[in-house]
Chains A and B, each alone.
Chain A
Amino acid sequence: MSEWHVDAFKDDDATRQSTQDKAREPSWHRVLKQLDPRMIQWLILVVAAIVCFVLADRFPAIQNYPVALTLPIQAWLNAAMEVFVDAVGPAFLLLSWLLEQAMNGIQAMLLTSPWVLTIAALSMLAYFAGNIRVAILTAAALLYMALIGYWDESMRTLALVLMSVPLAVLFGFLLGSLAFLSPRAEQVIQPLLNFMQTVPAFAYLIPALILLGFGPVVGLFVAIIYASPPFARNLLLGLKRVPSETVEAGITSGATPAQLFWQVRLRSATSTLLIGLNQTTMAALNMVIIASMIGSSADIGWEVLSTMRKAQFGESMLAGLVIVLMAITMDRITRAFAHKMGLPKSVRALGPLHRRIAGPAVTFVAVIVAIALTAYLWPALHRIPEQWIVNAAAPLNAGLNNLITTFSDQIEQLKRLIAFYFMMPLRLGLSQAISPFTWGIEFTPTLRMLYAGGATALAAFLFITGRWPLAIVAICACTVAYFGFSQIPWLVIVGLVALLAWQTGGWGSLLMSLAGMGFILASGLWPKAVLSIYLCTAAVLIAFSVGVTIGIIAARSNAVSTVIRPINDALQTMPLFVFLIPVIMVFGIGEFAALVAIFLYAVVPAIRYTEHGLRNLPASPVEAAVAMGCTPFQKLINVELPLALPEIMLGLNQTIMFSLAMLVIAALVGTSDLGQVIYTALSSANFGAGMAAGISMALIALIADRIIQCWSENRKKALGL
């Protein structure tokens, strides 16, 4: 028994009591005294929005952007493309031909060489680049591809990746070093890099199709474009981070500018560069898989897509697993390579290069020759015999069907629940979502009044207790929930985004957001864009709240963290495409399936950033809080979460970016937003329509990114982190 006399724990009562005190105490004149100009701006916006809602019935131009004010942007884009094709088309065809020759060579090599030899060669290379573990992983992954019967398809995909990565690295290197050497070039290249990564992958395919014609080269080309920015970015970052003393030491040792660049700066930036290599490889794989949907190459991505279309989920799962294995293997090899190169020299082998690689090279050649000879004598090692291939698809299909029919009731219930109580209110608003058919009750005028009263009371309470930003958030949330995204006048959305941009990032952000929204409005894509925002919001709300919760738990418990981390790794390395397989299988086609797919992909950054933010807090305030007698909950609410908030907001930012990226892919499962516009344009090779929608999507991403980044930056500065 302990001897301490402990007062009754009255925290909860006490805190509630003190909130009430606070509510009573800072009276109106205190609120008036410290009026924040930003608050006044928001109040003006709220009043203006109310006016818009009231007038929307009488003036439809307020509700929907007038068609008369749109511009034929799609036609302009098509015309510009025609001019461009006329001018440089032949050059691109030549480029296409060159790329095709090179790629055919690699493909032929991978397809004709004995499968055992390929496995041995690639595993050995993985061993030299990394370690024995990645070598085993490589061998296992390749063995799976061979035994499950997708060897040829896998090799075609591999050829595309192997071809695109060096070219993307070269292109990225040129871009990155140009940006480093010339500040003026950097001003052009930085936004270009942003743009190259935020324009949805599908949108790339259309101009590539037009320029290069139908063929596997299209995938190669877009993969190079899409995969080079990460390398350029990391190169630039690495070069900038080289300590000035290192450079000065180089200069005083008499290095020429060229020596300085190659031997001092570049060498110091190696580790960052190798991170870039990893990201570039993963991006290339992702894009190669996405590009396969134009169906010009019989690769593994096409296999997934076509089996999925035929509802052969067993097959598409097996093929999808090939992609997952490929992604994980490539990720591990490049990471192990980066890690190895980052080790100090003494840990690695010493001596001049030719002596270091002599031994491994001899082993490599010897093994290859031995296998080649054996395969010549034993054909089973050359082409994998049919009878060796495991037919796992049939039993898998049966099992999956069984599982889905068993739980179909529950799945239906879940779908209805989310649709009626979450998706519909967000899209159409409670005003239309509540009906006897959906909620089982009538949304009577009395209930409407109650809702409005409750919302007003909540906002007023938050406002009087001095938490005006929360009050504004409450007003916005209640308004959206009542009217739904699709019923909110465009003027209100434009005003809201513009004000957010201005308050967080000043004039630059304001102009950028206005220009961006102007483009979307003028191209006539606003209604589609709002649908995209709606779907994205729905997914982000779920993904972010679930992700932050998991992140908080993972930050507290090492056990949870160890379980979560590999799952996150796997989710993040998987090409976007693969997410659709289980989702369609279980939930069928439709918005709900899209929501689930986006959730699965976008939940990862929320978890990661929250955990990272909470685990890397400045130690001293947290320790002080414990020493003062914080309960764990008080510590979390009062100290840890506020301090980690900027980092968590960056997680929100990533969640939004990931959602938008997935949103485009989710067009495949039947959405009706911008993603669908791009997808349709792709099938009809309508460059203007696809590009306008693609740019719109990118603009949404860029505006959201800018606002959140600026906010987080301001907040970090304010906290002195």
Chain B
Amino acid sequence: MNNKTQATAPHARDRASTRSVVLSCEHLWKIYGPHPERFMAGGGKTVTASCDEVVASGDHIPAVADISFQVHRGEIFVIMGLSGSGKSTAIRCLARLVEPTSGSITLEHKDFLSASSRELIEIRRHKIGMVFQHFGLIPNLSVLENVAFPLKLQGVRAHEREERATAMIELVGLTGRESNYPRELSGGQQQRVGIARSLCVDPDLWLLDEPFSALDPLIRRQLQDEFLRIQQRLSKTIVFITHDFMEAIKIADRIAIMRNGAIVQIGTPLEIITAPADDYVAQFSGDVPHCRVITAANLMHALSDQNDSANADRLPQVDPDNTLEEILPHFATGTSQVAVVNGTGAILGTISIDRALQSMQGIGR
């Protein structure tokens, strides 16, 4: 595993111990240019050059440069980067829409890159669902036919695929529009079709390439909420691409920040915001109010003895998932401490007003 990931993502490591790895990506490169194999070590399949060396060679561009990460079952892994950072190439490598130059991709403990073209088609049909920025709907098919299209490719019988497609259309809230054509739908509705289509084969890995970037801000927020709702029900393993830092913060379990083809930092939203790896990352996180990201669970002091527990009983109670922003009003009532209580009523710890106010400046500084 990548050292950087270990160093900066303790939470993810915790999760790794409890959940299995679905997708693992090791030292992945995609170099565009006339002779990308030039950068590979003699005969081997590994790129040994550094990113700068490739750029310096002139006519080669490292779109993806030595990225490594793991995605665990049920996790939302967001790759965030500005345009040209290689994030779209990266997700295309994950579906082998773009063939990586070197590196390895392991999907459910099997080497994905060695799959033959036949196997690749089968994997795409059954294991991977993908959503595209510009929807990728087929204009001469109706909504129902579009959603059922992946099933048709698999040779699923007509009535069965209609049944499953109808269920998916209901899931994304488009019931009643089945016989419409893509051009008759708004952008947001079209993307709902795209989401339904990608889910109707019940994929193990769900890839979303800037799914909401082409939409208006209001519709975007609406679809983000919808997306989280669907994910709560289905618990897919997700790789989600975005250029919008706020979107990444909102939906991610973990975020990888990409720049010039390389991953700059991987971590939970909190880690990215409170401990940016460099100035580049800090530029994004600087704008985010910490009080909206830091949760009670991040802030609390665990109870040391029974005595504390008795005290804590009398304090105002907050949920571990409450953000700092939601906790602050409690202090306005005059108390100097709040208790963090989980769903079953057990007291987990307390947060003092000093701790809360200090953390407004960021944890760990």
Q: How many residues of A contact B (CB 8 A)?
A: 36
Q: Once the chains bind, are A642 and B135 in contact (CB under 8 Å)?
A: no
Q: How far apart are B281's CB and chain A's nearest CB, in angstroms?
A: 30
Q: How far apart are A535's CB and chain B's nearest CB, in angstroms?
A: 34
Q: How far apart are A647's CB and chain B's nearest CB, in angstroms?
A: 14
- Interface status of A415 (Cβ within 8 A of chain B): no
Instruction: List B residues 177-192 near A (Cβ within 8 Å).
Output: 181-183
Q: Once the chains bind, are B139 and A719 in contact (CB under 8 Å)?
A: yes
- Interface status of B346 (Cβ within 8 A of chain A): no
- Interface status of A36 (Cβ within 8 A of chain B): no
Partner of A719, one of B140, B158, B201, B207: B140
Q: Once the chains bind, are A628 and B159 in contact (CB under 8 Å)?
A: no
From known contacts A621-B137, A627-B130, A629-B121, infer whether A17 and B157 are also in contact, taking CB-CB under 8 Å: yes
- Interface status of A10 (Cβ within 8 A of chain B): yes
Q: Once the chains bind, are B158 and A22 in contact (CB under 8 Å)?
A: yes
Q: Once the chains bind, are B154 and A14 in contact (CB under 8 Å)?
A: yes
Q: Could you list some 22 contacts between A and B, CB below 8 A?
A: A2-B114, A2-B119, A4-B115, A4-B119, A4-B122, A6-B122, A13-B155, A14-B154, A25-B158, A620-B135, A623-B136, A624-B130, A624-B138, A624-B197, A625-B136, A625-B138, A627-B130, A634-B153, A638-B149, A643-B138, A718-B139, A721-B139
Q: Using Cβ atoms and an 8 Å threshold, which residues of chain A touch B181?
A: 718
Q: Using Cβ atoms and an 8 Å threshold, which residues of chain A touch B194?
A: 624
Q: Using Cβ atoms and an 8 Å threshold, which residues of chain A touch B123?
A: 4, 629
7 closest Cβ contacts across the A-B interface?
A14-B155, A624-B136, A629-B125, A629-B124, A720-B183, A4-B119, A620-B136
Q: Once the chains bind, are B158 and A18 in contact (CB under 8 Å)?
A: yes
Instruction: List A residues 5-30 near B (Cβ within 8 Å).
Output: 6-7, 9-11, 13-15, 17-18, 21-22, 25
- Interface status of B95 (Cβ within 8 A of chain A): yes
Q: Using Cβ atoms and an 8 Å threshold, which residues of chain B touch A718?
A: 139-140, 181, 183
Partner of A18, one of B139, B155, B201, B207: B155
- Interface status of A381 (Cβ within 8 A of chain B): no
- Interface status of B292 (Cβ within 8 A of chain A): no
- Interface status of B152 (Cβ within 8 A of chain A): yes
Q: How far apart are B149's CB and chain A's nearest CB, in angstroms?
A: 7
Bound-state Cα–Cα, A643 to B154, Å: 21
Bound-state Cα–Cα, A248 to B194, Å: 42
- Interface status of B97 (Cβ within 8 A of chain A): yes
- Interface status of A368 (Cβ within 8 A of chain B): no
From known contacts A643-B139, A720-B183, infer whether A627 and B114 are also in contact, taking CB-CB under 8 Å: no
Residue interface mask A615-635, B partner, CB < 8 A = 1? 000001101111111110010
- Interface status of A3 (Cβ within 8 A of chain B): yes
Q: Using Cβ atoms and an 8 Å threshold, which residues of chain A touch B307?
A: none
- Interface status of B344 (Cβ within 8 A of chain A): no
Bound-state Cα–Cα, A117 to B57, Å: 50
**Closest Cβ neighbor of B130 among chain A residues:** A627
Instruction: List B residues 113-153 near A (Cβ within 8 Å).
Output: 114-116, 118-119, 121-126, 128, 130, 132-140, 149-150, 152-153
- Interface on chain A toward B: helix, strand, loop, or mixed SS? helix
Q: Once the chains bind, are B118 and A9 in contact (CB under 8 Å)?
A: yes
Q: Using Cβ atoms and an 8 Å threshold, which residues of chain A touch B149?
A: 625, 628, 638
Q: Once the chains bind, are B150 and A629 in contact (CB under 8 Å)?
A: yes
Q: Using Cβ atoms and an 8 Å threshold, which residues of chain B touch A626?
A: 97, 124
- Interface status of B45 (Cβ within 8 A of chain A): no
Q: Using Cβ atoms and an 8 Å threshold, which residues of chain B touch A2?
A: 111, 114-116, 119
Q: How far apart are A621's CB and chain B's nearest CB, in angstroms?
A: 5
**Closest Cβ neighbor of A22 among chain B residues:** B158
Q: Using Cβ atoms and an 8 Å threshold, which residues of chain B touch A7?
A: 122
**Closest Cβ neighbor of A639 among chain B residues:** B138
Select the residue from B118, B139, B159 with max chain A CB neighbours within 10 A.
Answer: B139
Q: Once the chains bind, are A643 and B122 in contact (CB under 8 Å)?
A: no
From known contacts A21-B159, A22-B158, A639-B138, infer whether A627 and B97 are also in contact, taking CB-CB under 8 Å: yes
Bound-state Cα–Cα, A3 to B124, Å: 15
Instruction: List A residues 626-676 near B (Cβ within 8 Å).
Output: 626-631, 634, 638-639, 642-643
Q: Using Cβ atoms and an 8 Å threshold, which residues of chain A touch B116?
A: 2, 4
Q: Once the chains bind, are A642 and B140 in contact (CB under 8 Å)?
A: yes
Q: Using Cβ atoms and an 8 Å threshold, which residues of chain B touch A620?
A: 132-136
Q: Using Cβ atoms and an 8 Å threshold, which residues of chain A touch B137?
A: 621, 624
Q: How far apart are A5's CB and chain B's nearest CB, in angstroms?
A: 8
Q: Once the chains bind, are B111 and A10 in contact (CB under 8 Å)?
A: no
From known contacts A4-B123, A629-B150, A720-B182, infer whether A638 and B138 are also in contact, taking CB-CB under 8 Å: yes
Bound-state Cα–Cα, A721 to B139, Å: 9
Residue interface mask A218-249, B partner, CB < 8 A = 1? 00000000000000000000000000000000
Instruction: Please name 11 further chain A to chain B contacts, defined as beta carbons within 8 Å, in addition to the given A624-B194, A720-B139, sorted by A numbering.
Output: A11-B155, A13-B155, A18-B155, A21-B159, A624-B132, A626-B97, A626-B124, A634-B153, A639-B138, A718-B181, A719-B183
Q: List the interface of chain A (C-beta within 8 A of B).
A: 2-4, 6-7, 9-11, 13-15, 17-18, 21-22, 25, 620-621, 623-631, 634, 638-639, 642-643, 718-721
- Interface status of B110 (Cβ within 8 A of chain A): yes
Q: Using Cβ atoms and an 8 Å threshold, which residues of chain A touch B111?
A: 2-3
Q: Using Cβ atoms and an 8 Å threshold, which residues of chain B touch A4?
A: 110, 115-116, 119, 122-123
Bound-state Cα–Cα, A11 to B125, Å: 12
**Closest Cβ neighbor of B118 among chain A residues:** A6
From known contacts A3-B111, A18-B157, A634-B153, infer whether A627 and B124 are also in contact, taking CB-CB under 8 Å: yes
**Closest Cβ neighbor of B112 among chain A residues:** A4
Q: Once the chains bind, are B125 and A628 in contact (CB under 8 Å)?
A: yes
**Closest Cβ neighbor of A622 among chain B residues:** B136
Bound-state Cα–Cα, A642 to B194, Å: 19
Bound-state Cα–Cα, A351 to B141, Å: 58
Bound-state Cα–Cα, A720 to B190, Å: 13
Q: Using Cβ atoms and an 8 Å threshold, which residues of chain B touch A627?
A: 95, 97, 124, 128, 130, 132, 136, 207
Q: How far apart are B151's CB and chain A's nearest CB, in angstroms?
A: 10
Q: How far apart are B68's CB and chain A's nearest CB, in angstroms?
A: 21
Q: How far apart are A256's CB and chain B's nearest CB, in angstroms?
A: 44
**Closest Cβ neighbor of B183 among chain A residues:** A720
**Closest Cβ neighbor of B123 among chain A residues:** A4
Bound-state Cα–Cα, A2 to B118, Å: 11
From known contacts A6-B118, A628-B150, A631-B121, infer whether A15 and B138 are also in contact, taking CB-CB under 8 Å: no
**Closest Cβ neighbor of A716 among chain B residues:** B139
**Closest Cβ neighbor of B92 among chain A residues:** A623
Q: Using Cβ atoms and an 8 Å threshold, which residues of chain B touch A629?
A: 121-126, 150, 153-154
Bound-state Cα–Cα, A3 to B194, Å: 30
Q: Once the chains bind, are A628 and B183 in contact (CB under 8 Å)?
A: no
Select the residue from B138, B154, B197 with max chain A CB neighbours within 10 A.
Answer: B138
Q: Using Cβ atoms and an 8 Å threshold, which residues of chain B touch A13?
A: 155
**Closest Cβ neighbor of A719 among chain B residues:** B139
Q: How far apart are A281's CB and chain B's nearest CB, in angstroms?
A: 38
Bound-state Cα–Cα, A718 to B183, Å: 8
Q: Using Cβ atoms and an 8 Å threshold, which residues of chain B touch A21?
A: 157-159
Partner of B138, one of A17, A621, A631: A621
Bound-state Cα–Cα, A21 to B159, Å: 8
**Closest Cβ neighbor of B182 among chain A residues:** A720
Residue interface mask B89-123, A partner, CB < 8 A = 1? 00000010100000000000011001110110111
Q: How far apart are A567's CB and chain B's nearest CB, in angstroms?
A: 28
From known contacts A14-B154, A21-B158, infer whether A621 and B122 are also in contact, taking CB-CB under 8 Å: no
Bound-state Cα–Cα, A22 to B159, Å: 9
Q: Using Cβ atoms and an 8 Å threshold, which residues of chain A touch B136?
A: 620-621, 623-625, 627
Q: How far apart are B344's CB and chain A's nearest CB, in angstroms?
A: 43
From known contacts A620-B135, A621-B137, A643-B140, infer whether A10 and B155 are also in contact, taking CB-CB under 8 Å: yes
Bound-state Cα–Cα, A25 to B125, Å: 25
**Closest Cβ neighbor of A10 among chain B residues:** B155
Bound-state Cα–Cα, A627 to B183, Å: 22
Q: Using Cβ atoms and an 8 Å threshold, which residues of chain B touch A14?
A: 154-156
Q: How far apart are B98's CB and chain A's nearest CB, in angstroms?
A: 10
Bound-state Cα–Cα, A631 to B137, Å: 17
Q: Using Cβ atoms and an 8 Å threshold, which residues of chain B touch A721?
A: 139
**Closest Cβ neighbor of B128 among chain A residues:** A627
Q: Using Cβ atoms and an 8 Å threshold, which residues of chain B touch A25?
A: 158-159
